[in-house]
Homo-oligomer: A and B are copies of this chain.
Amino acid sequence: MATRDTYRGLYTGMLRVATWEQRLLRMIEEGRTSGFYHAGRGQEATAVGATMPLRRDDYLLYDHRGMGHAITKGVPIDRLFSDFLGFREGTTGGLGAGIVHIAWPEAGVLGQSGTLGGSFPIAAGAGLSALYRGTDQVVLCFFGDGASNRGTFHESANVAALWNLPVIWLCENNGYAVSVPTAEAISVAQISQRAIAYDMPGTTVDGMDPIAVYDAVSAAVERARAGGGPSLIEAMTYRYRGHYEGDPQTYRTREERDEWEAKDPLVMFPRRLIDEGYADEQWIEATRISVSEEIEAAAATALQGSKPPVSRIFDNVYA
């Protein structure tokens, strides 16, 4: 189902996400933002591959790992920088960003829950809402292997399956919850196995392959739109950086990281584009340049922003 445009789009998308993050990390290094950040480097194929199949009016609940989902879904990247810079131009109007809390309703970005697993019921509720209103919108809900153990998953997966809600549960299994490896936290070999407990389709895909992720999610989206209900998709992936910036990473080996870095979608996928004839070196290079320019321009725009007055903190408590 993936066309040449899909391939190219996925590459461009991943590049935007990674370049954006790289630029953000520079801002962090420069001490411009003090927000907590959980880098997404390594997981771009999952974040972008899963989000690309969505329509603009579909809903997204992303999670704390990188901003790939939110960027792909349409949060303007200059605004995203502004959020991390604590500038009023950010989507939160200067409240800041870090662990969470960027949103963009016009592109269906509903935000994120800082208490892990808090998104599950909200995603189910958004799915219920789509059904109630008779639209064919779907909801994509990201979560980590660690978050999959929250009880809220059980409650939400059950109603989603019971009522045939248009929700795609997308688990980014990157092998760790902070320092705890999945094998020490999860009683099954693959999280997708848990789909059986709800009578919904469950599948595990290579989360380093954007096409595999894209195809699996596309099928689930199609199914959900047609009234076929929810799906659970587990994407096997890896984060190249620490859980947070500054993580000593004592819990994993250099060899393990090397192994996964050999699968880096930002290295492997452009090669594949060329090998399979979807693009040539020239296109790749041109894309790299244009993405860099886009990100730099967004950063420049964002850096011209300004901090809100202290009174900002009293706004928006109530509607």
Give 16 A-B pairs besides A151-B155, A193-B199, A196-B197 with Cβ atoms closer than 8 angstroms: A150-B154, A151-B154, A153-B154, A154-B154, A158-B186, A158-B187, A161-B187, A161-B188, A188-B197, A188-B198, A189-B199, A193-B196, A193-B197, A194-B197, A196-B196, A197-B197
List the B residue with the shortest CB-CB distance to A191: B197
Roughly how many angstroms separate A273 CA and B138 CA in the complex, as a whole number?
57
A141-158 CB mask vs B (1 if < 8 Å, else 0) is 000000001111111011
Q: How far is the CB of A167 from chain B (nearest CB, A)?
A: 12
A44-78 CB mask vs B (1 if < 8 Å, else 0) is 00000000000000000000000000000000000
**Can you report 5 A-B residue pairs in the complex whose CB atoms are below 8 A from each other?**
A149-B154, A149-B158, A151-B155, A158-B186, A189-B199
Pair B155/A150 contact, Cβ less than 8 Å = yes
A239-255 CB mask vs B (1 if < 8 Å, else 0) is 00000000000000000
List the B residue with the shortest CB-CB distance to A151: B151
Roughly how many angstroms separate A159 CA and B189 CA in the complex, as a whole number?
14
Given A193-B197, A194-B197, A197-B197, verify A162-B185 contact (CB < 8 Å). Answer: yes
Q: Which residues of B contact A197 (CB under 8 A)?
A: 188, 193-194, 196-197
A200 at the A/B interface (Cβ < 8 Å)?
A: yes
Pair B187/A162 contact, Cβ less than 8 Å = yes
- 3 closest A-B pairs (Cβ-Cβ)? A151-B151, A154-B154, A197-B197
Roughly how many angstroms separate A183 CA and B157 CA in the complex, as a whole number?
15
Chain A interfacial positions (CB closer than 8 Å to B): 149-155, 157-162, 184-189, 193-194, 196-200
Q: Which residues of B contact A184 (CB under 8 A)?
A: 162
Roughly how many angstroms separate A152 CA and B154 CA in the complex, as a whole number?
9
List the B residue with the shortest CB-CB distance to A195: B197
Q: Which of A158, A160, A187 is the most central at the interface, judged by chain B CB atoms within 10 Å of its CB?
A: A187
Roughly how many angstroms separate A149 CA and B151 CA in the complex, as a whole number?
10
Q: Which residues of B contact A187 (CB under 8 A)?
A: 157-162, 198-200
Q: How far is the CB of A160 from chain B (nearest CB, A)?
A: 8
Roughly how many angstroms separate A187 CA and B184 CA in the complex, as a whole number?
28
List the B residue with the shortest CB-CB distance to A164: B187
List the B residue with the shortest CB-CB distance to A187: B161
